[in-house]
Amino acid sequence: MTGAAACLAGFDGLAVVIHGSSGCYYYPTTLLHAPLHGTFILEHEIIFGSEDRLNEVIGGLSGLGKRIAVITTCVPAILGEDIRSMLEKHDVILVDSPGFSGDVEVGYKNALSILAPRIDSDVCGVNIDGVCLFDPFYAGNVQEITRLLAMARIPVGTVFSHDRLKKVQHASPYTIVTNEDFVSGVGEYCGGTLGFRAIEATFKKLGEVFADADVDRVFSELEQQEERMVKACDKYLLRFDPPSVVIFAGFSYAEHAAGTLERYLDADILCIGSRNDPGESKYPVEQVTGLEGVRSLIAQHNPDLVMGSSFERSVCETRAFTGITPPLRGTVRLAPTPFAGINGTLSLVEQVLNTCMDKKPGRS
């Protein structure tokens, strides 16, 4: 349900209704920080049916000038209500997305498929894909990749999923990705943007696709910033041992963090606890979706650094901690910090260096 809400709420021109209890509404609202609406069904509606309540909420939104999307949650799904027939008088987008039907990635992709994105061959530029409100770095990713594309003189197509609703039907034929866990599958895949080598390969491909692009400017900045980062990492390693690390996140971000820390800090990647179904990896990896599994891996490997969410922070004791996946509660996040692009990699390494220096004494 939260994945579906993250997808739909990212599009300007949609009013998103969570059809369920108050808890089903408040969880995505506090996590996504997006304007959502709820039916807040109570015991009475559960017993006698929620049709009147659902139509009341939709009726109140009908004058906003937006398409209305309704996301069903566990209670209506378990009750077996025919939501589609309830809404036959309204022009709404219906997404059946109870929590037991899959994880956040499943809900996101299902909702996006219902919007039915289309390629418009007349659109110039490249789509930015993998942008999901569930990702705490999504806004920074959009800004960073837009910056790099502007530097290369390549227009931005459609941002999936953080754009105007009408642009879903007018996507570019070409796409680059910020977070591989939330790919739309729209357009020809031109590469990812997590890590310097991925950026280099992707903009090389874009330089071949767009004859007027000036990708050398991106390569020049990449070389300069990588040199700065290498110097900072070498300076750290003169004082401290390479950190041992356990990483908990979606597989795409976890792989990026692991590869970056191993390459530039000679980090010992002890294990990746993937939130979703992991792909192939050279690192030890297993899917971990419960706090007991998190606690067990941390105790088993005893790392210097734990990367993850507020859940991992709550059980990592005195170890160094860096937040890279939701939820990230108890911290103030105002600036749109990226995880993708050149500045995303710089930000990741900067945070790890500062965290580890704060926790580890210098060697004598």
Of the options 3.30.830.10, 3.40.50.1980, 3.90.330.10, 3.40.50.10540, the CATH number for the domain spanning 2-115:
3.40.50.1980
Cα–chain center distance at 88 = 33
Look at residue 55 in the predicted model and tell me its pLDDT. Answer: 85
Domain borders along the chain are: 2-115, 126-214, 221-359
Pairwise CA distance, residues 348 & 352, whole Å:
6
At 44 the pLDDT is 66
Q: What is the CATH number of domain 126-214?
A: 3.40.50.1980
Q: What is the pLDDT of residue 364?
A: 31
Distance from CA of residue 191 to its chain's centroid? 17
User: Is the Cα torsion angle 265, 267, 241, 307 positive or negative in sign?
Assistant: positive
Same CATH topology for 2-115 and 221-359? Answer: yes
- Residue 99 is predicted with a pLDDT of 84
Q: Give the whole-angstrom CA distance, residue 141 versus residue 72.
A: 29
- Looking at the DSSP assignment, which residues form a beta bridge with residue 118? none
Q: Could you say which architecture CATH assigns to the domain 221-359?
A: 3-Layer(aba) Sandwich (3.40)
Q: What is the pLDDT along the chain (364 residues), one digit of tens a residue?
A: 999 999 999 999 999 999 988 888 999 999 999 999 999 987 766 655 677 888 889 989 988 889 999 999 887 777 777 788 888 788 899 999 888 889 999 999 999 999 999 999 999 999 999 999 999 999 999 999 999 999 999 999 999 999 999 999 999 999 999 999 999 999 999 999 999 999 999 999 999 999 999 999 999 999 999 999 999 999 999 999 999 999 999 999 999 999 999 999 999 999 999 999 999 999 999 999 899 999 999 999 999 999 999 999 999 999 999 999 999 998 888 899 999 999 999 999 999 999 999 876 544 3
Cβ pair 115, 164 in contact under 8 A: no
